[in-house]
Amino acid sequence: MEVFIELSIIIGITVLIAGIIRLLKQPLIIGYILAGIIVSPYFLNVVKSTETISIFAQIGVTLLLFIVGLSLSPKVIKEVGKVSLITGLGQIIFTSLFGFLISRILGFSVIVSIYIAIALTFSSTIIIMKLLSDKKDLEKLYGKISIGFLLVQDIFVIILLMVISSFSGNLGIDSLSFGKILGGILLIGGFVLVSIYVLPSLSKFFAKSQEFLFLFSIGWGLGLAALFYYMGFSMEIGALIAGISLSMSPFHYEISSKMKPLRDFFIILFFILLGSQMVFGNMGDLIIPAIIFSLFILIGNPLIVMILMGFLGYRKKVGFQAGFTVAQISEFSLILIVLGVSVGHLTGEILSLVTIVGLITISGSTYLIMYSESIYPYFSKYLSIFERKKLIEKEKDSEDCNVVLFGYNRIGYDILHSFKKLKEDFLVIDYNPETILELSKQNIKCKYGDVDDDEFLNELNLVKTKMVVSTIPEFETNLLLVDKIRQINKKAIIITTSHNIEEANELYSMGATYVIMPHFLGGSQASKMIDEYKFDVNKFLREKKKHIKYLKNKKRLGHEHPRAEKNR
């Protein structure tokens, strides 16, 4: 009963602190850590049942990593692309290197410097996904790239946690158990085979009952975590592998959504416990290193990403916005340091230091990400050094084009075929360098650019353009485009895209000639087929063959349908 009362008081205080943090528009993780500090022995001294809360916190971390594993499907990893792989690995290498040098300059030992340097490389998947979703930027180029290098980081976490849990005592090559690592690799290989050949059939059986699916998910995640712990590894690595093994199941989105409320409750206790364990005895000695590390994360990490993306041929604005998404440390950084403390490599002071860095960088990066559009104009003219002179060598000239297509994506692919039939000069504009290079190989006139960039729009010659088609899904972007074109060209046919009836009406009122609504196109097409074919099954089967061929070609080009928001 005492534990229940203690938890009730802790949660009550957390609700109060989290409410204030929410009003300040900060991630709630900050509120959880601050609540932990308030209930710690240094303030209210509420936490008495540390062992019980620690068990709950461990369950929270296990569930968190299980859900992260669910999003690491090999199919998703394949779709990450070259830019995410290069940027992700490059950011990990350079941040670790500079972080280690800064740590050594500040007087930390080699072991402590290694831990701090690696902890500084991780960015928060949860926070970034939430902020990008709130901004509706998940489908923008910088959003996709950010998600890609987050996946690269998560894969790196898997390997790292396995290695750390394989050390005994001091960090050194002599204390590394290669037998344990080999056993872990074999264990993972076994579960990969199970996930390919056994789990798909089992998951169909479990999915017949929603309650059974939920129970199976918990049992699978915690069971594998316990098995890996029994084998001498950390529970974290077991939870990740459990999630990955289920990631190829057709029900992994549903499993993830069902597990999140349970995860959220227990992970709250992890951060509260983290805050309560902070050491304030020598806080004066930690302030200067915390500020230096925080400035490195808030300024250095974005610079590293901007340099890498500029080298790969991306415009300065895309690199600028993507860079801000790595301007904080992650919940994984804190988990890594906690693991280092548990195996005896680190002390409580280092945990306090990294936690302070987490509070500063998470707070700062939230504002940087949310207001990146407003901040960019102030730095735009200084960022040209991060942009290659020739963004795309084979970029075609945009002069004197009667037809312009903004966005060569799923819809644009079909529209391009209609443009070819018009026998008019046409131009394709896209913000993905790889797409531009592919179009260039086909001798299609194209230009690399971001429609959200006002400078870029001003460079285009649209005064005499007869038709403009935008397949870009963002409403604000289409609104800007319509307004810009109507200011200089009253006669142009403007076709845009919308997924919302109210937004479609607003685009019409601003001057759009026609608004494509993809969600309604399928029903309209099916209706026309029914009217024309009636009950002639052979005609439907002919359409089926043509459609299958069409879909195969679309998939070959990478035009997969976007994932539903629920898996975000």
305: Cβ–Cβ under 8 A, 6 or more apart, which residues? 87, 91, 319, 322, 323, 326
Question: Which domain range does residue 14 map to?
Answer: 2-385
**396 found inside a domain:** no
Residue 102 confidence (pLDDT): 95
Q: In this predicted model, what pLDDT tens digit does every residue of 281-313 receive, in sequence order?
A: 666 788 899 999 999 999 999 999 999 988 887
Q: Which helix (H) or strand (E) segment is 446 a member of?
A: strand 446-448
Work out the mean pLDDT of the chain and round it to a whole number. 79
Backbone angles phi, psi at 108, to 5 degrees: -80, 155
* Domain final residue pick, 330, 354, 385: 385
| CATH number of the domain within which 358 lies | 1.20.1530.20
Region 495-513 average pLDDT: 88
Considering the domain architecture, whether residues 313 and 407 belong to the same structural domain is answered as: no
Q: Mark which of 322, 352, 385 sits at the end of a domain.
A: 385
Task: Quote the CA–CA distance of 199 and 202 in Å, as a whole number.
Answer: 5
Q: Write down the pLDDT at residue 295.
A: 95
Average pLDDT (219-231) is 85
Q: 344 and 423 share a domain?
A: no
193 shares its domain with 62: yes
What does pTM read for this prediction? Answer: 0.67
Q: What are the angstrom distances between the C-alpha of 28 and each of 80, 130, 265?
A: 29, 11, 12
Is pLDDT above 70 for 565? no
Is 253 part of any domain? yes
Q: What DSSP character marks residue 3?
A: H
pLDDT over threshold 80, residue 213: yes
Q: Is 123 a residue whose pLDDT tops 80?
A: yes
**Residue 392: inside a domain:** no
CB 267 within 8 A of CB 332: no
Do 198 and 280 contact (CB within 8 A), yes or no? no
Q: Is residue 208 part of a domain?
A: yes
Residue 334 sits in the same domain as residue 426: no
- Examine residue 398 and state whether it is found in any structural domain, yes or no: no
How far is it, in rounded angstroms, from Cα 69 to Cα 525?
Answer: 39
Say if residue 334 is in the same domain as residue 477. Answer: no
Separation of CA 406 from chain center: 25
Looking at residues 523-539, what average pLDDT do you find? Answer: 79
Same structural domain, 312 and 426: no
Shared domain for 457 and 372, answered yes or no, is: no
293 vs 514: CA distance, rounded Å:
52
pLDDT above 70 (res 219): yes
429 DSSP β-pair partners: 406, 447
Residues recorded for the chain = 568
> Has residue 142 been placed in a domain?
yes
pLDDT tens-place string over residues 93-121: 999 999 999 999 999 999 999 999 999 99
Residue 15: per-residue pLDDT: 92
Q: What is the per-residue pLDDT for 567? A: 33
The CATH number for 540's domain is: 3.40.50.720
In 10 A of CB 545, how many CB atoms?
9
> Are the CB atoms for 291 and 301 separated by under 8 Å?
no
Q: How confident is the model at residue 78 (pLDDT cuts 50, 70, 90)?
A: low
**Same structural domain for residues 376 and 449?**
no
Same domain, 296 and 374: yes
Q: What is the DSSP letter of 174?
A: G
Contact (Cβ atoms closer than 8 angstroms) between residue 224 and residue 195? no
The torsion angles phi and psi of 48, rounded to 5 degrees, stand at: -115, -45
Identify whether 394 is part of a domain.
no
- Within this chain, do residues 360 and 477 fall inside the same structural domain, yes or no? no
463/61 Cα distance (integer angstroms): 57
Residue 11 lies in a domain: yes
The answer on 148 and 60 residing in a single domain is yes
Same domain for 100 and 213: yes
User: 3-class SS at 390?
Assistant: coil
Instruction: Report how many domains make up the chain.
Output: 2
Q: Which is more confident, 166 or 249?
A: 249
Contacts 24+ apart (CB under 8 A), 97-100: 98/296, 98/300, 99/293, 99/296
Number of Cβ within 10 Å of residue 96's Cβ equals 17
Residue with tokens 């529970």: 235
C-alpha angle 271-275-279 in degrees, rounded to nearest 5: 145
- Name the percent of the chain lying above pLDDT 70: 84
pLDDT tens, residue by residue, 366-404: 888 888 888 888 888 888 888 765 544 444 444 557 889
Residue 397's pLDDT is 45
Domain boundary among 350, 385, 420: 385
Q: What are phi and psi of 515, to 5 degrees?
A: -120, 120
What is the Cα Rg of the chain in Å?
26
Judging by beta carbons within 10 Å of its beta carbon (0-12, 13-18, 19+), is residue 43 exposed, middle or buried?
A: exposed
In the predicted model, is pLDDT for residue 406 greater than 60?
yes
